[in-house]
Structure 1
Amino acid sequence: MCTACQSNQKEEDVKKTTAVTKIVEGADGQKLDSILTPYLEKLRNLSDNNAGLAIGITKGDQIIYAHTFGYANIEANHKADFNTVFHIASVSKPFTAAAIVKLVQQGKLNLDDKLIAHIPDFKMKGEAYKDITIKHVLNHTSGIPRHVSANDWEHPKPLQANLQYVKNFELDFTPNTAFSYSNSAFDILGIVIENVSGVSFEDYITTHILQPAGMHQSTYIKPKDSLPATWAKPYSYGLQTQEWSPYPYAPNYYPSSGLQTTLLDMCTWGMLHAGKGTYNGKTIFDKNHFKLLTTPYYKTPWGDHIGLSWFLQSYLERPIIMHTGADTGFESIMYVYPNEEISIIVMANRDFSRTGRIINAASEVLFDSVPKNYNLSARYKFTEAYKKHGIDKAKETWERMQKDTTDIYFVNNDDILTTGAVLENGNYWKETQDILTYYLTLNKKSTYAWRLLGNAYLHQKDTLKAVECYEQTLAINPNYEKGKAALAALKNK
C-alpha cells in the first residue's frame, strides 16, 4: 500500500474509533464487564495508578470485551482510548517471528539456514557462532548473550549497528544446547529479514504482516524529537505516577522490542492467531506455516516449551501461547487459548501495573473461576506515609509491615531502592536522598544505590557527600565503571 493510502486508511480508522474506550459484546462480555472491570478498578486504586491500561479479549472473529482506563498523557489530560498507541516491548518478538515464517512461506529462506548464510558480515569471537541457525535465534538457543549492548534509548542506532556490538563477544554456550532468552539475537535477526527481503525490516513487516491483517495503526516509526499526540507516554512510580525518561525507542531494537500499536490492532493480532493464520477471511499464513510458530522446539528452564518466539504454556489447565513485554514505563502481555479461539491482550504505560495478574484474572472470569486476590507491594503504604508525614513515619510503616503477614501487602526491601531510582530519574533530589539513605541501612552493599544517592547530593550542591558516595561504590566494587565515571566527571569540572 502506498504511503498516502496508508495515511488515509489510518485517518479513517481513527475517525471510526475516536474517543471509544469500551466494547462489551454477548454474555461473555457482560460477565467480564460485571466482574473484571471492578476488579481492575480496585487494583488500580490500591496501586495509585492513573496511567493508561488497555485490555482486549476476543473470541473467534469478535471482540467480546475491550476497555481502556486512565491516562495516556497525564500532564495533557489525555485519556487512553482505542486510538492510544502503546509501546509493547518484547511482545514485538512474535512479529519478527511472523516475518521469518512469511519469508519461509515465500520460499526465500528456511528455518535451518545459518545466520552467516544471510549475513556474511556477522562475526563473533570463536567459531561456534557459525553454526547458529535462524531457528536457534527464534527459540532462544543461539547462545548469543542477552544484552551485548545496554538499552541505550538516548542514542538510537541503525539496525546494522548490532553487528558491531556483537563481534567482540563469545557465545554463552554451543548453539542448541541450552535455553537463554536473548534480545540481542533477535535484533540481529532483523538484519536477516532485510537482507533476504531487500527492503527495510519495518517495511517488510508493514507490507506483509500489518497491512494485510488490517493493523493500520501499528508502526515502528517514531518522529525523531517528539511524541505524537496519540502515543502513550511512559510512566513509572516514585511517590506517585511520574513520567519516565527517555522514551524506549531505537531502530536497532526494532526486532526485539520496537513495535508501537493500539488495542484494536492487537485484538486483530489475537484473532489472527486464534484463527491459526486467518482472520475475517484474510489468510496471512497458511495453516502449515502458521503451525511452525507454535510447534514446541525446546524445553524452557521452567518446564514448558518455546515455539518460534511464542512461549507454549498453560493456565487453568488450558494450553496457551503467550509472550510478555516490559521496558521501563511500559508493560504488555498476550495470551492465546488456541483450543477455545480466545485471545487476551493487556498493555499499560506504567511500570508496576500488574499486567500478569490482570490477564490471569481475565482468564479466570472467562472460564468461570473466581478471580484470585492480588498481592501488592508495601511500597504504596510506604510512599503514602512519606507524603503525609515524612521519612521517619515511612520507615516506621515499612518496618511494621515487615512483621505483618495478614494483609495483601508484601515487603521486599528492593522496592525501596526502586522507589529511590524512579525519583532520581525524575530529578526529585531531596526525596531521592531521604529514601536511598534509608535503603542503605537495609543494604549497605548496593553500588547502584550509593551512586544514585551521590547524584542526589551532587544536584543539591553537596559535592563532598557526593564524592563520598561515589567512592563508596568503588570500595564495594573497584571495577564499578559508573562509579569511576562519576568521580572522573567531578575531577574534570
Structure 2
Amino acid sequence: MKYIKRTNILQFLLLLFVLSSCTKEKNIPITAIKDAELPKDSLPKMRPLTNETPKLTADYINSKKAEIDVFYRRNWPSNSMNGGFLVAKNGQIIYEKYEGYANFRDKTYITSNTPIHIASVSKVLTATAVLKLVNAKRIGLDDLVTVYLKEFPYPKVTVRMLLSHRSGMRSYAYFTDRDKSVWDRHNTLTNQDILTIMATKNIGLEQRTGTRFAYCNTNYAMLALIVEKVTKMSFGKAMSEMIFKPLAMTNTFVLDFDKDKKKVAPSYKGNRVEIGIDYLDKIYGDKNIYSTPRDLLKFDRARNSPNFLEPELLKQVYVGYSNEHPGTKNYGLGIRMVNWPNGKNFYFHNGWWHGFTSSYIPLKDENTTIIALSNKFTKSTYAVRKIAPLFGDYPFKVEDE
C-alpha cells in the first residue's frame, strides 16, 4: 500500500513537471491557464491609500497656496476658468477651485461633485484596469490581441503594443470619416463596430506593427473590448467594480451613451457655443470617462500605493516605448513622460475631446498631484504643468505663457 501511494505521488509530481514544461515551451497564453488560478468571478480591485504621512503643516499649505494662487490668476484671468482645478501633496489638498457652468443654458454651476468628461486622461484609467488584470494573470502583457479578440485582423499586435501605441493601427476617426462603404456617419459607431470594420473592410495598417510609436485612439478602444472579454462584463461595469467603487469614486463613471448622453455636462467652444454629439461619442476606453478632480486624486493615490502592482510589472509601466529618435518626450504603458538628460522624469497625461480638456500630473518624486478639467475649450488646462517647479526640480517656468 505504501509503495502504491508513493508511486502515485511520484506520478502526480511528474505530471505537474511535464505540464509546467509544456506551458513554458509552447508559450501558452495566460488565458489558457488562468481559470485554474483564479475563480471565474474574481476581479482584481484597487485599494485606497489611507493615512498618508507626513501631514502638511499649516505654514507649508499657506505658503504653497499663495504661490499656486499667483499662477491661477495669471492662467485663468477674470474668472475665465470653466471647470475644476486641484493640487495635493501626500493626498492632502493644498489648492482647489471650481468655477463656471456645467451647463450654460441651465446656469448649472460646476462644483466639486460635477462629473466632467476627462477625454484622453481616460486612457490612464483604462490602462490601469488592464494592468491590474495582467497583475492577476488574467491577461498576458505580451499575449497577441487575437488571443482575446478572435476577429482582430493584425496578427502581430500584442497587448503591450496597444498600451504603448506601437500597434501601427489607423485611427478609427479617419477610416470611418468619409467613405460610406466603410461606415455611414448617420449611425453611431461602437467599439465592436470598429473591430468588425477593421476585420471586414480591409483597413490597412498606418505603419508596420512594432516599428514606431504613433498615438492612436483605436488602441484603447480595443483594450476596452479586451477588458470586457476577460471580465465578462461591460466596460463600465468592470471599471466600476475594479476601480470606481473600491476607491469611493462616487462621481466617476463610463458614459452610458444611450441612457445618459443628455444628462451629462455638455462641452463648449471657447466662445461658449455648445458642441453637439456626433457619431464617435459612444466609443470608450480611449475617452468617455466622466470624473472630478477629487475622484481622480483618490485614483492617483491608489495608483501610487505600494500594493498597486507587483514591482517588476510596475517598472515596465514607466519605461519609454517611443524612443526611435533622440528626444525627451516618451510614452509608457498608459502614461506620457518627459525624460530629461539629468535623470529627472515628468509623468503626465493630457486630454482633449470636443470642448473638454484635461490634465493629470503625478509628480512621483514629490508625492504631489495636479489635476485640471474643463468643459469649455481652453489650452490653459495644459499649462498647469508649470506648477511643477514649486515642488521639485522641473525645468518649467511658472510665469511662462
**Shorter-normalised TM-score: what interval?**
0.7 to 0.9
Q: Structure 1 pair 208/25, CA: closer, same or farther in 2 (3 Å)?
A: farther
Q: Structure 1 pair 214/188, CA: closer, same or farther in 2 (3 Å)?
A: same
Kept after mapping to 1: 8 A contact 2:357/2:377: yes
- Which of 160, 163, 168 is the aligned partner of 1:138? 163
Q: CA offsets per residue over residues 55-93 of structure 1, 9 Å max, x none?
A: 112222322222222222233222221101110111111
- Which of 200, 208, 211 is the aligned partner of 2:245? 211
Q: Structure 1 pair 28/290, CA: closer, same or farther in 2 (3 Å)?
A: farther
Counterpart residue number, 1:291: 315
Q: CA offsets per residue over residues 124-177 of structure 1, 9 Å max, x none?
A: xxxxx2011010111111000133434999843332111123232111222111
- Residues 1:91 and 2:125 are matched in the alignment: no
Kept after mapping to 2: 8 A contact 1:51/1:241: no
Secondary structure, aligned partner of 1:255: coil
Q: Structure 1 pair 27/159, CA: closer, same or farther in 2 (3 Å)?
A: farther
Q: Structure 1 pair 149/287, CA: closer, same or farther in 2 (3 Å)?
A: farther
- Which of 82, 98, 109 is the aligned partner of 1:52? 82
In 2, Cα distance between equivalents of 1:345 and 1:101: 22
Moved more, 309-318 or 342-351: 309-318
Q: Structure 1 pair 115/260, CA: closer, same or farther in 2 (3 Å)?
A: same
Q: Structure 1 pair 157/173, CA: closer, same or farther in 2 (3 Å)?
A: closer
Taking only the aligned residue pairs, the percentage that are identical comes to 22
Between 1 and 2, higher relative CO (CA 8 Å, sep ≥ 6) is seen in 2
- Which of 234, 239, 242 is the aligned partner of 2:273? 242
- Which of 62, 75, 80 is the aligned partner of 2:105? 75
Q: Structure 1 pair 134/159, CA: closer, same or farther in 2 (3 Å)?
A: same
In 2, Cα distance between equivalents of 1:309 and 1:343: 17
- Which of 308, 328, 331 is the aligned partner of 2:354? 328
- Residues 1:233 and 2:266 are matched in the alignment: yes
Q: Which amino acid aligns with 2:98?
A: T
Give 5+ residue unaligned stretches, structure 1: 1-23, 124-128, 376-493
- Which of 330, 335, 338 is the aligned partner of 1:313? 338
Secondary structure, aligned partner of 2:63: helix
Secondary structure, aligned partner of 1:66: strand
- Which of 351, 368, 388 is the aligned partner of 2:377? 351
In 1, Cα distance between equivalents of 2:94 and 2:128: 25
Q: Which amino acid aligns with 2:176?
A: S
Kept after mapping to 2: 8 A contact 1:294/1:310: yes
In 1, Cα distance between equivalents of 2:124 and 2:324: 17
Secondary structure, aligned partner of 2:213: coil
Counterpart residue number, 2:176: 149
Q: Structure 1 pair 45/62, CA: closer, same or farther in 2 (3 Å)?
A: closer
In 2, Cα distance between equivalents of 1:270 and 1:235: 27
In 1, Cα distance between equivalents of 2:236 and 2:320: 27
- Residues 1:162 and 2:162 are matched in the alignment: no
In 2, Cα distance between equivalents of 1:60 and 1:51: 26
Kept after mapping to 2: 8 A contact 1:194/1:201: yes
Secondary structure, aligned partner of 1:55: strand
Q: Structure 1 pair 368/107, CA: closer, same or farther in 2 (3 Å)?
A: closer
Q: Which amino acid aligns with 1:250?
A: D
- Residues 1:171 and 2:218 are matched in the alignment: no
Secondary structure, aligned partner of 1:250: coil
Counterpart residue number, 2:17: none
- Residues 1:35 and 2:67 are matched in the alignment: yes
Cα deviation for residue 262 of structure 1 reads 1.0
Q: Structure 1 pair 119/225, CA: closer, same or farther in 2 (3 Å)?
A: closer
- Residues 1:122 and 2:152 are matched in the alignment: yes
Kept after mapping to 2: 8 A contact 1:51/1:73: no
Aligned length: 334
Q: TM-score, normalised by structure 1?
A: 0.61
Q: Structure 1 pair 345/133, CA: closer, same or farther in 2 (3 Å)?
A: same
Secondary structure, aligned partner of 1:312: strand
Secondary structure, aligned partner of 1:299: coil
- Residues 1:360 and 2:385 are matched in the alignment: yes
Kept after mapping to 1: 8 A contact 2:330/2:339: no
Write out the 4+ residue segments of structure 1 that deviate beyond 6 Å after TM superposition. Answer: 151-154
Kept after mapping to 2: 8 A contact 1:146/1:180: no
In 2, Cα distance between equivalents of 1:52 and 1:92: 20
**What's the C-alpha RMSD, in Å, of the aligned pairs?**
3.0
Counterpart residue number, 2:16: none
Cα deviation for residue 54 of structure 1 reads 1.3
Cα deviation for residue 243 of structure 1 reads 2.0
Kept after mapping to 2: 8 A contact 1:72/1:349: yes
In 2, Cα distance between equivalents of 1:153 and 1:327: 18
In 2, Cα distance between equivalents of 1:197 and 1:145: 27
Q: TM-score, normalised by structure 2?
A: 0.74
Counterpart residue number, 1:188: 222
Cα deviation for residue 321 of structure 1 reads 1.6
Greater share of residues in helix:
1
- Residues 1:109 and 2:139 are matched in the alignment: yes
Q: CA offsets per residue over residues 380-419 of structure 1, 9 Å max, x none?
A: xxxxxxxxxxxxxxxxxxxxxxxxxxxxxxxxxxxxxxxx
Kept after mapping to 2: 8 A contact 1:58/1:271: no
Q: Structure 1 pair 59/249, CA: closer, same or farther in 2 (3 Å)?
A: farther
